[in-house]
């Protein structure tokens, strides 16, 4: 919900003509130690919150830099500005012969969700 609220604020900022900044999201990670042949090694693993934030960004079609396992995700301001621009044609609207009805329904649902978020229906 917080990520969607930040996107909503950035949308208003863009509409006012201001520059959209880069956004850095700090997500929690879990440190785990594993035994290897060289000895004990500490590994960072993304927890459920980190995976959910990354999945949300992927589902919205926002490309980000970094990895949820590192604990920091960065979204470029140019990427956010492009994401808010109206799309003339959705990448999911392309009809192919091999697409079964359940995938067509899923893709139209995803594109509808993206459109609603872009047009500020951000209440969950």
Distance between CA atoms of residues 92 and 40, nearest Å: 46
85-97 mean pLDDT: 59
The pTM score is 0.60
pLDDT mean over 36-63: 87
Which string of b and e fits 80-105 if b means at least 16 CB within 10 Å?
Answer: beebeeeeeeeebeeeeeeeeeeeee
- Give percent of the chain above pLDDT 90: 3
Distance CA 66, CA 24 (A): 10
Structural domains in the chain plus CATH codes: 2-85 (3.30.1370), 88-124 (no CATH)
Q: What is the mean pLDDT of the chain?
A: 80
Tens digit of pLDDT for each residue in 99-117?
566 666 667 777 777 777 7
């Amino acid at each position: 919900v917080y990520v969607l609220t930040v996107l909503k604020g950035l949308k208003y900022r863009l509409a006012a003509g201001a520059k959209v900044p880069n956004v850095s999201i700090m997500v929690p990670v879990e440190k785990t130690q594993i035994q290897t042949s060289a000895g004990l090694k500490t590994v960072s693993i993304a927890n459920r919150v980190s995976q959910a934030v990354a999945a949300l960004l992927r589902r919205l079609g926002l490309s980000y830099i970094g990895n949820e396992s590192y604990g920091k995700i960065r979204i470029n301001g140019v990427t956010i500005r492009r994401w808010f621009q109206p799309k003339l044609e959705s990448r999911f609207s392309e009809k192919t012969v091999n697409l079964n009805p359940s995938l067509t329904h899923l893709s139209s649902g995803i594109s509808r969700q993206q459109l609603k978020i872009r047009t500020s229906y951000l209440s969950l």
